Amino acid sequence: MASVSVPAERPGGLLRRPHATTGFWAWFTTVDHKKIGILYGITAFAFFLIGGTEALLIRVQLARPDQTFLDAAVYNELFTMHGITMVFLVVMPLSAAFFNYLLPLMIGARDVVFPRLNAFSYWAFLFAGLFIYSSWFLGGAPNGGWFGYAPNSVIDPTRGMTFYAIGLLIAGIASTVSAVNLAVTVLNMRAPGMTLFRMPVFVWMGLVVQLLLAFSLPVITIGLVELLFDRLFGTHFFDVSAGGSPVLWQHLFWLFGHPEVYILVLPAMGIVSEILPVFARKPLFGYQFVVFSGIAIGFIGFGVWAHHMFAVGLGPVANTAFAVSTMIIAIPTGVKIFNWLGTLWNGDIRFTTPMLFSIGFIAMFVIGGLSGVMHAVVPSDYQQTDTYFIVAHFHYVLFGGAIFGLFGGMYYWWPKVFGRMLSETAGKLNFWLMLIGFNMTFGPMHILGLQGMPRRIQSYPESLGLAFWNMVSTIGSFVIAISVLVFLVNAVASFRKPKQMEADPWDARTLEWATSSPPPEYNFEEIPVVHSRDDLWHRKYAETEGGRVVPVAAGGSGEGTYPDGAGHAAQDGAGHAGGHAIHMPSPSYFPVIAAAGLPVLGYGLLFGVPAVAVGLVITLAGFFGWALEPSAE
Amino acid sequence: MRRRTVVVLGLVALALVAAACAPNATQSALEPKGPEAQKSYDLFVPVFWVAVVIFFVVEGLLVLFVIRYRHRKNATRIPPQVHGNTRLEIAWTILPAVILAGVAVPTIATIWDLAAKPTGDILEVNVLGHQWWWEFDYPDQQILTANELHIPTGKPVYLTLCAVGFGYGAPVPSEGGPPAPSACQGPPDQPPPAAIGASVIHSFWVPELAGTQDVVPNQTNHLTIQADVPGVYEGQCKEFCGLSHTYMKFTVVAHTPDDFQRWVAEQQAPTPVPEPGSDAAAGLEVFLSRLPSGGGCTDCHAIAGIEGPNGQPILNNGGPNLTHLMSRQCFRGCTLATTDANLRRWMEDPSAIEAGSFMPDYGLSAEQLDQLVAFLNTLE
Amino acid sequence: MATLEHSAAAPVTDHAATSTGLPHLKLAMWLFLASDCLLFGALISTYVLYRGASTVGPYPADVFDIPYTSVSSFVLLASSLTMVLALAAIQRGDVGRSRVWLLATALLGMTFLGGQVYEFTSFVREGLTLKTNVFGTSFYVLTGFHGTHVAVGVLMLLTVFTLSFAGKINQDSSMTVELVGLYWHFVDIVWIVIFTVVYLIPTGSPAGG
Amino acid sequence: MAETRVDDPGPRSAPAPHAGRHPGPKEYIRIAIILGAITAAEVAVYYIEGAREFLIPILFFFSFVKFALVVLWFMHLRFDSRTYARFFVMGLAGAVTLFLIVLLTFQVFSS
């Protein structure tokens, strides 16, 4: 299905670069980090709706004991796809959307360092997602859990786990490429004066996440390759009868899987660290400590993977070591939370929707963090592992944490991206419904787990007395669904409004608010020169000797005071005077072509060698055209 | 804000209450019934309360600040731009570290405690994880049974766990014969059990008696369980192990030492021979015969003391050993009661009951089914 | 891949200043190589775990031909030399000589690949396939992965070689050659490790490990 | 994550295309000869019966030296900015430590 989009890209005028930067087809050839960010966002949100629907089906099946609404096969496919979708096709790309759109703006750059590579990453990710989902129609979706434990994932007779392996490999390529791209962007593309310790925390978290990706993805890549070879070519990596070890897969998976947790949550932490200061009207408390704790979390995050394997029988030495490292990682996490509290302290807090989501993030993430520490208590974890207690824990981290943060980010930057405000009323409704629904759904799961409900079971007997809280949980999940609908309506409605938005509606502190909303294609007419952290704020406000803060002459009204400040509010960036002077990279056909080859290659591995060759040819053709096409129009 | 906190706090409070006094929670980690489970529980409770305290402190501050420092109508004050405070930073780095250290010490002690093999008077049992049922092998008692683990109270039971694939048969004990080798090691002339068939990872969990121990192919794990009071304790496979993972349950039946000895004696008693001409005898014929489809019960199931058509001993090949089947309360991963109706339904079409079942549908006639049920009923 | 990006990076960064003072592509390439370390780390440790774990032969000692493999190691080392010479030449602006060294490097790389193909076939003849045992499985996948890296390198070298005739490679664009060089040397150091860990270090008893 | 200490000139500095002069062909050839010699030595040690018990440490030492020579001279880490080195060491050290731990949990080295 991926190849479907190729004909549109037939390299007709070979090596001549497309010009159009507007219109439908321009989306396929764009290399503009902002457009690519929007593409990431829309795609990820679409998958969010699908993954959420899968979750609802699971909840319906579990609403009452001994239900037969879904049979075992479908149920296993659903919880597997729910996990894969939410982790790889929702939270990761949604974070990528924010990184793509905002990192260049926040550091005062005109684009990422390798714009076409950036486009390639997006298309590869999209095709990976479509590839995995095509499995529903081609003999069954993955059914071995998102963690795909061997040997079960190897001996499963359906094609599902082969789709899983190939799909995640393609997604992995996409993420690795964009990780290198964005890391170099942050290091090398900063505006004059934007030293590392003047960067917004969100940019810092972006940098850390890209490095986590760069160093953790290769490990799962090898794990997936070994799984794939076992399934396709009869190798024995995880074949016990030949002396293979199933535990090797667990190491390779969790060596990636744990850093992945921080890959998912650090972006949200960065977002919250941007939103809190703006609406508390104070700078972030203990900037350096928030940054360093973020780095520490990323670093220690590589040393805790075996706490997912306490019950495997690694022996007391390993369990002790990983219990300790796991407890240690709680410390920098705590530092972050206390600094956020410090930011709120003595602030002048405005309860806008972004702020509500950020406060909700802190409140919920604390719960997830605390239950996390309880898992580090190994003997206690012997009871909790693989029960709904764990499910509750990581949903408090990844939903109460990541998703709340990302929603806050959407409300916060929506006006910047689309030049229109989301309705605050609908936003608040969205927040409260989601908060209540979320706690109704996942709070009871703590109890269920302790009462003896294991994970990944299709039903449970009446006798275990699990019925009540399961029903509560199911009802809660539908409340969440309603809150998401409210967001959808809000989003659609916002496009009914005219595009009338000043550059800096929130009276914010960072560079992206210094240019028009939406920003012109080239972001800044003149690359700003940065003099301090929260540079924009310092251009709007000054401090008297007494430490009183007073607006500077120019404004504080929210008008940025850079050259090319908020001048172009209404119009489209491309269309104005200064614009033509600035030379931006031309769109290109080749990223999408190069990416389109990958799923074709994947189908080839599944359904017959010829397609492998075709896929390789398409991809190589893409890259050669890429290398040879002129750099400008 | 208040509303949210109420929801949150309410849930946490409920979590403890509801969990502590939940109705017939027969598989609950919160009701330890033996020293091993107690050790986990004794760590869980204090850590939980520490967490609760921290929770109230942090969320309390959050709510306090949010209320205290909310923006008030037409207040024009811009708060002082405070950038941080190193003393505070040091404080809230060290304080958690100290608390965690306090948690770490007993944690580590207990890890090693639980890992140690119990000494003195213990019972040893091999636990074999199949897709999707549990096999229990008592090497010293020469008993091989399934889905029901019988143990004496007040005595540590040291389990040796291994995962085996379809086609592996634990060596059948035969009365009078030489003691069968330990099932997890397998017969000397065979490769180790895990290396046979397509075994997958399972996880042995009976929360009221002990924490989880994974059952991993090509790896022999150990777990100590102990029950202080007689009773039936529910257990379940906790690691996703394929299509019918959900239905891989088991029970641990704890007897007083005397009752346990009685049970052992029962299990060791020779299999009664059905009197000729009875339905049961006909059922035994069906059991031993090659069925139209070419297969037969004895391909997988053995019964101590019953020999094959031409006198050869029957090996268990992946199916539960049926010796004294009717002394068990349940079968099929302990999700069906051993009633005539259930046995009949099961033999009639296993995969109708269990997705992906390894037990074939031999298209048995109604008469054959009746005879088989009659025969199985003699296996008390 | 990074090399292919070269042209696109240019327009955005015409004001060629970078915050760190380091060229984008070189930074990217080093980051990529750093991440590739973990790729091979995973493969090599898989091999170390399985080298002695096979339940049936042939075992490493039965198939390895050290003299033969050491020759291929020499070839790959030599290719590293020709690669740096190519770089030195282009940095001097001596396109002609650089071209020759690039071609030499590519040829040496192909020789190495040829050698690997021959080695694989002879192993298969001795009864060691991907499916024989965990040693075969982990050996072929590790060395095959490395071979693929070499092949990609050869492809890049030949591309650069061809581009040089189009006058696309000159003193100013010596970065392209340097990047291909970095990649190529990385492939070489990976082989240095493989040669020691896989070939030279003797395996314990088939049971052990 | 050492890279956060990236040399960080506040205002932009034009990139120094080849920070620190790279060595010339002569030095490259010298290095290559050393590399060849070591490889020869490796193979030789492999066949010397006497060296059996020291074989593994010796081999590791040799390959380490070769590795270092290529990285420092051919890949210019000795001459280029430390930032590249920081990245590379991050990956390398990470790989070595992580996978050593993994192999240790398998008791690979005990036999």
User: Burial of A517 by CB count in 10 Å (0-12 exposed, 13-18 middle, 19+ buried)?
Assistant: buried
- CATH superfamily for B279-378 is Cupredoxins -  blue copper proteins (2.60.40.420)
Q: Two tokens at A517?
A: 């909303």
Q: Confirm or reject contact between A110 and chain D (CB < 8 A).
A: no
Domain ranges of chain B: 2-16+26-71+84-115, 123-265, 279-378
Nearest to A299 among D1, D6, D91 (CB): D1
Instruction: Tell me what pLDDT residue B11 has.
Output: 56
Query: Rounded to an integer, what distance in angstroms lies between the CA atom of residue A420 and that of residue C23?
Result: 38
Domain ranges of chain A: 32-585
Contact A196 D6 (CB under 8 A): yes
At B306-359, the pLDDT tens digits run 887 777 777 777 889 999 999 999 999 999 999 999 999 999 999 999 999 999
At B231-248, the pLDDT tens digits run 999 999 999 999 999 999
Contact A246 B218 (CB under 8 A): yes
Could you tell me which of B342, B344, B343, B339 has the C-alpha nearest to residue B367? Answer: B344
Nearest to A208 among D1, D8, D90 (CB): D1
Q: What would the mean pLDDT of C4-30 be, rounded to a whole number?
A: 66
The distance of A256 to chain D (nearest Cα, Å) reads 11
A 10 A CB-CB count for D48 gives 11
Task: Please determine, for residue A27, whether its predicted confidence score (pLDDT) is greater than 90.
Answer: yes
Confidence of residue B3 (pLDDT cuts 50, 70, 90): low
Amino acid at A137: F
DSSP state of C57: S
Residues of A in contact with C6 (CB under 8 A): 627
Nearest to A187 among C27, C131, C134 (CB): C27
Q: What would the mean pLDDT of A338-358 be, rounded to a whole number?
A: 97
State whether ipTM is beyond 0.95.
no
Query: Rounded to an integer, what distance in angstroms lies between the CA atom of residue B18 and that of residue A511?
Result: 50
At A451-466, the pLDDT tens digits run 999 999 999 999 899 9
Q: Contact at 8 Å (CB) between A300 and A328?
A: yes
Q: Confirm or reject contact between A289 and chain D (CB < 8 A).
A: no
Could you tell me which of A232, A223, A72 has the C-alpha nearest to residue A150? Answer: A223
Could you tell me which of C203, C58, C61, C194 has the C-alpha nearest to residue C131? Answer: C58
Report the percent of chain A where pLDDT is more than 90.
84
At A386-444, the pLDDT tens digits run 999 999 999 999 999 999 999 999 999 999 999 999 999 999 999 999 999 999 999 99
Q: Confirm or reject contact between D56 and chain C (CB < 8 A).
A: yes
Residues of A in contact with B244 (CB under 8 A): 72
Confidence of residue A347 (pLDDT cuts 50, 70, 90): very high
Query: Rounded to an integer, what distance in angstroms lies between the CA atom of residue B374 and that of residue A621?
Result: 72
| Mean pLDDT value across chain A | 91
Contact B40 A379 (CB under 8 A): yes
Enter the CATH code of domain A32-585: 1.20.210.10
Q: Confirm or reject contact between D40 and chain A (CB < 8 A).
A: no
Task: Please determine, for residue D4, whether its predicted confidence score (pLDDT) is greater than 60.
Answer: no
C21 or A271, which is more confident:
A271
The distance of D97 to chain C (nearest Cα, Å) reads 10
Q: Confirm or reject contact between C12 and chain A (CB < 8 A).
A: yes
Residues of D in contact with C209 (CB under 8 A): 108, 111
B295 or A162, which is more confident:
A162
Instruction: Tell me what pLDDT residue A18 has.
Output: 80
Task: Please determine, for residue B33, whether its predicted confidence score (pLDDT) is greater than 80.
Answer: yes
- What does each C-alpha distance from A216 to A95, A209, A211, C49, D6 come to in angstroms? 17, 10, 8, 20, 21
Which chains border C (3 or more CB–CB pairs < 8 Å)?
A, D
Among A16-25, A28-37, B138-147, B344-353, name the one with the lowest average pLDDT: A16-25
Residues of A in contact with C36 (CB under 8 A): 218
Contact C8 A114 (CB under 8 A): yes
Q: Contact at 8 Å (CB) between A125 and A174?
A: yes
Q: Contact at 8 Å (CB) between D51 and C114?
A: no
| Angle formed by the axes of helices C134-165 and C174-194, nearest 10° | 160
Q: Confirm or reject contact between D106 and chain C (CB < 8 A).
A: yes
Chains B and D touch (3+ CB pairs under 8 A): no
Task: Please determine, for residue C138, whether its predicted confidence score (pLDDT) is greater than 50.
Answer: yes
Pairing of strands A549-551, A541-543: antiparallel
Instruction: Tell me what pLDDT residue D83 has.
Output: 93
Could you tell me which of A321, A214, A311, A207 has the C-alpha nearest to residue A259? Answer: A214
The distance of D19 to chain C (nearest Cα, Å) reads 9
Domains B123-265 and B279-378 share a fold: yes
Instruction: Tell me what pLDDT residue C2 has.
Output: 36
Nearest to A222 among C43, C54, C131 (CB): C43
Query: Rounded to an integer, what distance in angstroms lies between the CA atom of residue D27 and that of residue D11?
Result: 36
Q: 3-state SS of A594-629? A: HHHHHHHHHHHHHHCHHHHHHHHHHHHHHHHHHHHC
| Mean pLDDT value across chain B | 88
- Chain C from 92 to 151: CB within 8 A of any D CB: none
Q: What would the mean pLDDT of D60-89 be, rounded to a whole number?
A: 94
Task: Please determine, for residue B9, whether its predicted confidence score (pLDDT) is greater than 70.
Answer: no
Instruction: Tell me what pLDDT residue D18 has.
Output: 47
- What does each C-alpha distance from D30 to A328, C183, D34, D95 come to in angstroms? 49, 22, 6, 30
Nearest to D95 among C37, C74, C80 (CB): C37
| Residue of C12, C15, C134, C179 to mutate when probing chain A, most A C-beta within 10 A | C12
Task: Please determine, for residue D25, whether its predicted confidence score (pLDDT) is greater than 60.
Answer: yes
At A500-514, the pLDDT tens digits run 788 999 999 999 999
Instruction: Tell me what pLDDT residue A241 has.
Output: 85
At A592-612, the pLDDT tens digits run 999 999 999 999 999 988 899
User: DSSP letters along B271-340, please?
Assistant: PPPPPTTSHHHHHHHHHHSPPTTS--GGGT---TT-B-TTSPBPPP-SSPP-TTGGGSSEETTTTEE--H
Pairing of strands B123-130, B249-255: unpaired
Task: Please determine, for residue A558, whether its predicted confidence score (pLDDT) is greater than 60.
Answer: no
Instruction: Tell me what pLDDT residue A546 has.
Output: 75
B314 or A282, which is more confident:
A282
Contact A149 B26 (CB under 8 A): no
Q: Contact at 8 Å (CB) between B330 and B148?
A: yes
Q: Two tokens at A242?
A: 């030949």
Q: What would the mean pLDDT of A538-567 be, rounded to a whole number?
A: 64
Contact A242 C10 (CB under 8 A): no
Confidence of residue B4 (pLDDT cuts 50, 70, 90): low
Instruction: Tell me what pLDDT residue A584 has.
Output: 85
Cis amide prior to A65 (ω within 30 degrees): no
Confidence of residue A356 (pLDDT cuts 50, 70, 90): very high
Phi, psi at B331, each rounded to 5°: -145, 180
Task: Please determine, for residue B24, whether its predicted confidence score (pLDDT) is greater than 80.
Answer: no
The distance of B336 to chain A (nearest Cα, Å) reads 11
Residues of A in contact with D6 (CB under 8 A): 187, 196
Instruction: Tell me what pLDDT residue A570 has.
Output: 35
Q: Confirm or reject contact between D36 and chain A (CB < 8 A).
A: no
Contact A151 B198 (CB under 8 A): yes
Task: Please determine, for residue A286, whether its predicted confidence score (pLDDT) is greater than 60.
Answer: yes
Enter the CATH code of domain B123-265: 2.60.40.420
Q: What would the mean pLDDT of A37-48 be, rounded to a whole number?
A: 98
- In sequence order, the β-bridge partners of residue B130 are B133
At A65-118, the pLDDT tens digits run 999 999 999 999 999 999 999 999 999 999 999 999 999 999 999 999 999 999
Q: At B251, which helix (H) or strand (E)?
A: strand B249-255
Query: Rounded to an integer, what distance in angstroms lies between the CA atom of residue A520 and that of residue A512?
Result: 11
Q: What would the mean pLDDT of A566-591 be, rounded to a whole number?
A: 60
DSSP state of A402: I
Could you tell me which of B374, B327, B367 has the C-alpha nearest to residue B147? Answer: B327
Task: Please determine, for residue C36, whether its predicted confidence score (pLDDT) is greater than 60.
Answer: yes
Q: What would the mean pLDDT of A3-22 be, rounded to a whole number?
A: 54
B2-16+26-71+84-115 is classed in which CATH architecture? Orthogonal Bundle (1.10)
Q: Confirm or reject contact between B169 and chain A (CB < 8 A).
A: no
Contact C20 A187 (CB under 8 A): yes
Q: 3-state SS of A191-235? A: CCCCCHHHCCHHHHHHHHHHHHHHHHHHHHHHHHHHHHHHHHHCC
Domain ranges of chain D: 23-79, 81-111
What pTM was computed for the model? 0.92
CATH of C71-203, one of 3.40.50.300, 3.30.70.120, 1.10.3720.10, 1.20.120.80: 1.20.120.80
